[in-house]
Amino acid sequence: MSCLFLCGFMEVDYTKDTSTKGRMNQTLTLNLYCIVIIIVFGFALSEALRETNDLNVGLKDQRLALEWVKENIGSFGGNPDKVTIFGQSSGTLSVTMQILAYGGTQGAPFHGAIMESTALEPTSTLNLTLDAFNAVANLTGCDTFGNPQGSETLSQNGGDVYLPTADGDFLPSTSSQLVRQGRFVQMPVSIIGWTEDDATFFMPPNKTMEEFPDTFYPDPNQTTIEILLELYPLDDFTANAEAGLPAEFYRSAQVFRDILFVCPSFLFGHAIADKYNQDLANGHPEGQSEPEPKVIPPVFLYAFNQTILTSSLEAIDSPGLGVIYTSELVCVFANFTAYNVLGLVKPTESDFNLLEQVSRSFTGFANTGVSTIPGKDMLKGWAGSYLPGAEMMDASVYVVGGSNPGMSTLEGEGSVLNCGRTMLQVLFEYYWQWQRVNVIQYRGVISYGQRRLHRLPFFTPSPSPPHSHFLFNLYTMSTTTPASAPAPATDPNWKPKPGHVGNLSPEQQKALDTFRDELKQEGAFVEERMDDPFLLRFLRARKFDVPLAKTMLLAAEQWRKDFGVEEIVKNFDYKEKEEVDKYYPQFYHKTDKEGRPIYIERFGSLDITKLYKCTTQERQLQRLVWEYEKSISTRLPACSSSSGHPVETFCTILDLRGVTLRAFWNVKDFVMQASKIGQDRYPETMGKFYIVGAPYLFGTVWSVVKRWLDEVTVAKISVLSGDVKDWKGTLLETIEPENLPHYLGGVCDCQDKGGCSMSDAGPWNH
C-alpha cells in the first residue's frame, strides 16, 4: 500500500498569530516561498506562459512527483501498482486535476483516489484572461515574472484567486466538460465525500439568503436568488439562539455546501462509475489486464456527520457550526492530538470508536480497494454507491458517524441525508452547467474577471443555434438539414444571406472547396447527402474553420451509423403518435411568410407520467430523428419550391403556458439528449424562434443571457410573456393567420385532419 496526501493547509502556530498576514509570514519562514510562487504563476494565463506551454506548470510539477513515487515506491516497501493519492480541499482539486490530466490519454501514475471536500469546483480549470493575469500580478506586487515584491498582498487576498487553467494541453478543456465527455483516466477505486456542515466555516453569520450569493458569485441576478429560495424553504431550517445564528445562516450554508461539495461529488462519482461500467462491458477496465468480476463499481460516496471540534470552535467564538470542514481528517489520520492545540478536545467513547473504524476503512481502501472487510473493525456495510446503470442521483451515500450511520439513499424511506434528490437535480443543472470565466475569492475579499455564461436552466450556449427544446439548451436543438440541393430561386426579390450559396466571400469559398476536397480524399464524402448547402451548415457552425467543421461532420457521420439512422428512416413506425400528442404535442404545421416550415412544441401540455405509459424515451428520440430526416428529404425542398427561393431554416414556436418546474425537470433527460442531436448532428437551422407564454423568471433569465450572445442570434429569438392576446400580434407579423393554430392567435384548426398537431399540414404534402 502507498498513500500520498495532498492538502492546501499552511503549517502554523495559531496560538501565536491568527491573522492572515501572520499565517503567510510564518509560512514564508518555513521556506515555502517557492510553493507560493508556483501556486500563483503556475495556474495563470499569459502569452509568455502560453508560448512555453507552462500554463499549468504547478500541476505538471505534481505530475512529475507522482511519477517519481510510482517509479521508486518499491524501494520503500510500497506497491507501485497500488498507489492511492488522497487530498482534502485544494488538495482534492489537485487529485481531480491529475485524474483529468491530458484528457485521460496518458494514464495516471496512481491506482486509486480519495477526494475529501470539493471533488470539482465551478471555478476550477478556467481560462483566466490576460487582463485577469495582469490583475493578479498587480495584486501580488510583482512587476516581472521573477521579481516578487513581498507577501503582504498575497496574505490579504488569499489563495482562491489562483486556479488551474484549461490550457489545451494538461487540461484540454474545463473540468466539468472533461468529466461529462468521459475524458479522464479511469480510477479502479475511488472515495469521494463531504462533511455534513462543510460550508458553515466559510459563511458570514449576518448574510440573508438574498444577500449571500454576492459573497461567492459575482453579479447574482434575481432569478438566482428566487430559485434558491424556492429550493430551500426557510421553514426547513432552525435558528441557534445560543450561537446567535439565524435560520438564514443555516439555509445559506447548506446551499453553498450543496453547490460546492455535494453536487460535484455526485457528478464526478457517477462519471467514474459510468466509465467503469463501460470498460467492464468492453471486457477490460483501464489499468487491468483482465475483466474485473465486480458488479458494483468501486466508487464510494460518504457524508461525514460527527466532529470533535465543537469545543474548539466555541473557544474562538464560533459556536453552532456543526460538523465543519476538515472534521473527518482527525479520524482518517487517527490522531486526536493534532487538533488539540488548545487542550480543549475531549473525545468520547463514540469518537474513539469512530476514529478506529474510519482510519482502518480508509487505509484498508488504499490497500484492498474496499472500505468494509467482514470481521474487521471498520465502517460496517459501506458498499459501492452506484448500481450498474444507475442515474447520477440514484446513488447511495454512506453516512459516517452521528446517530444514524450507514448507507442512505437521497430520498425515500430510511433516508437520513440532509439533501434531497429533486433539490440537487435542480441545483446541479443550474450551477454545474455553467462554464464561467471568473475568479472568486470565497470570503468576499475580492471578485473580478470576465464571465462567460455557458448554461442556465433554460439555456445552453453553443456555436450553432438550431430550433427547439429551448428550455434546456438555447442553442442545442434541433431541426434538420436539407441534404438535397434546394430548388433554384424564382423569386426576383430574394437574395442569399452571407455565408450561404450565392453569397460567399473568397475566403469562405476557399474553405468550402477545401472542406469538400478533404472529405473526398478521406473517403468520407457522401455524394447524395453532402451538397454545398449541407457542407456550409457545418462550416458556419464552426465559423469556417475547416478542421473544426470536419471534426464535427465526421462525428455526425459516425453517430448516424451508431444510432441506426438509415434503419429508422426505412422502418420506423410511430403507431403511438395520436396518444403521445395528448400529453406532449410536438409537430410541424404549414409555413411562415418567408416560406419556412413552422415547428410547434407545447411544453405546458406535458404530462410525463401519461406520456411514458404509451411510449418510451428511446422511441421519442427515434421519432425525433425520423422527423429530422423527413425534413431533409421532403419538407425543406418542398418549401423551397413553394416559396421560390432556397429554404434552409425553420420558424419555431415554443409554448410555455402552464409549464411547471416539476414537469420541466421530469423531462430534462430527453430534452438534453434531443438537444445534443440537434446541436451536433443538424447544425445551423434556426431561422426564427418564438418563446410564448414565458413565465416571469424565464424573461428575467433571458434579459441576462442575451447580453452574452452575438447580435445575429439575439435578433432571431423573441421571448413573449403573458397570454395569447398579448403576443399574437407579434406572431402574425411573421405568420399568416390561416397558417397559425387558433390557440396561438391564428384561425387554423385543421378540423378535417384531427387538429393542427396531427395534420402535418404544409407544402410537403401537396
What is the per-residue DSSP string for 309-348?
-HHHHHHTT-TT--SBTTTTHHHHTT-SGGG-TTS-----
* Whether the Cβ atoms of residue 747 and residue 738 lie closer than 8 Å to each other: yes
Q: Give the three cell numbers for residue 322.
A: 456543526
Give Cα separations from 728 to 211, 554, 557, 725, 744 (angstroms): 39, 42, 40, 6, 7
* Separation of alpha carbons 530 and 693, rounded Å: 38
Bridge pairing between strands 83-88 and 2-7: parallel
Q: Give the three cell numbers for residue 495.
A: 437574395
Identify the H or E element spanning 599: strand 597-602
The residues, any chain, with a CB within 8 Å of residue 282's CB and separated by 6 or more, are none
Is 484 among the residues known to form the active site? no
Q: Which residue has the cell 488504499?
A: 366
**Single-letter code of the amino acid located at 121:** E
Burial of 109 (0-12, 13-18, 19+ CB in 10 A): buried
The residues, any chain, with a CB within 8 Å of residue 358's CB and separated by 6 or more, are 328, 331, 332, 334, 379, 400
Residues paired with residue 87 on neighbouring β-strands, in sequence order: 6, 115
* Whether the Cβ atoms of residue 334 and residue 290 lie closer than 8 Å to each other: no
**Single-letter code of the amino acid located at 124:** S
Phi, psi of 632, rounded to the nearest 5 degrees: -60, -50
The one catalytic residue in 2, 46, 89, 173 is 89
Active site residues: 89
